Structure 1
């Protein structure tokens, strides 16, 4: 199974920090946030990683192949030369689909700007259920972070529901390629499109209450730089 790391966005809340670099390439704990994701993917035994790029896409070229992260083959899905070409989550997945799956194998998707102690090996059971056709997707939900007044969804007895909006999507998921096969590689968000599968009872889920953060602002970057409790793997 492969993993896709979303890295195409501009990161406007980072203000001047992303004028000359991409948000996932900002340094945290001595290395780019993107590399912590790659280390976690390698540790979890993923067969390969796909990084989608747009904003400062040229800065990601050095990651292609396996030299930067031996043992993990990395491919780049370039959506444009700058942020104007970014296709958002759904569009980015559709464009990268030929790199992610043979049409049957599920794949994982994570954001390049989150840090977490969630063990990506835990996605294997969910991936098997998707592979067997029991579900079309699996979402990892987290308690609402400080910057959100309401959540996105809820999870009960292993199924995701739209209501009550008690929890936040943690930007960690497993998807079946089937649901993207007939979609166009054009700019489009994942939600509300994915809700059709939630409403059909085709999306499993779990609540993760361990260390997790979306590093969205310079203040977040400074804060989490001082608080290293995420148990991320060292190289």
Structure 2
């Protein structure tokens, strides 16, 4: 099973750190953020990882190389301009193949055990959901009896963690270009074809300098 790490964002909310350093290489407690994902994937038995990039992408390739330092084989999907989540994944599909793959947002930190993920989701996607953080109190989706929905009246919501298993069939009918992943997921949810799980462990969306500091505190507290 292959994995893809999304690493094409500019990280504008983390400036000035990201003016000259791509967000995946920003140091979190002394380690580039993306390396936590590589370590976690390798520990879970993954061997092949695809990373997309756009902003300062050459730095990412230079730093990570072919992935041998983590016992991985890394391939890169370079984007001339950001294609957003959906477009970036669609462009990388030739590298990912026809089987379901793990998808990880490059700008989150978590202790999630990737080996828990299903190798073949029951539908078109399987999402890992977390409790709503303070900066995203409304959440994203509902989880009921293992199925994820776009919203149920009076039902509690959870936040998408940025960790998922995706079946390439989710992209059937799509065309090359910039587009978001969320509308595809919502269409699949309406068909009852997105499963999910609730992860209650440590997780931080490292999207701002304040949350970067939060992640560092959590990591240092576990060392």
Question: CA offset at residue 61 of structure 1?
Answer: 1.6
Q: 2:106 aligns with which of 104, 107, 112?
A: 112
Q: 1:210 aligns with which of 201, 206, 216?
A: 201
Contact 1:159–1:201 (8 Å) recurs in 2: yes
Deviations 1:48-106 (A, max 9, x none): 1011000101101222423332x2100110012xxxx11111101100001112x2x11
Deviations 1:146-186 (A, max 9, x none): 10131110111110011136111110000111122431221
Q: 2:119 aligns with which of 103, 112, 127?
A: 127
Paired with 2:102 and 2:177, the residues of 1 have a C-alpha distance of 20
1:51 maps to which residue? 51
Question: CA offset at residue 230 of structure 1?
Answer: 8.5
Unmatched runs of 5 consecutive residues or more in structure 1: none
Q: Does residue 1:199 correspond to 2:200, yes or no?
A: no
Question: CA offset at residue 231 of structure 1?
Answer: 6.3
Paired with 2:213 and 2:130, the residues of 1 have a C-alpha distance of 22
Unmatched runs of 5 consecutive residues or more in structure 2: none
Structure 1 230/33 Cα, relative in aligned 2: closer, same or farther at 3 Å?
farther
Paired with 2:103 and 2:127, the residues of 1 have a C-alpha distance of 10
Question: CA offset at residue 113 of structure 1?
Answer: 1.1
Deviations 1:187-206 (A, max 9, x none): 11111232110010001101
Paired with 2:34 and 2:221, the residues of 1 have a C-alpha distance of 15
SS class of match (1:192): helix
Q: 2:95 aligns with which of 96, 99, 108?
A: 99
Runs of 4+ in structure 1 deviating by more than 3 angstroms, as ranges, are 229-232
Paired with 1:66 and 1:152, the residues of 2 have a C-alpha distance of 33
Paired with 1:172 and 1:43, the residues of 2 have a C-alpha distance of 16
Contact 2:29–2:220 (8 Å) recurs in 1: no
Question: TM-score if structure 2 supplies the norm length?
Answer: 0.93
Paired with 1:230 and 1:115, the residues of 2 have a C-alpha distance of 14
Paired with 1:53 and 1:4, the residues of 2 have a C-alpha distance of 11
Q: How many residues align?
A: 219
Contact 1:8–1:57 (8 Å) recurs in 2: yes
For the aligned residue pairs, the C-alpha RMSD in angstroms reads: 1.7
Contact 1:5–1:50 (8 Å) recurs in 2: yes
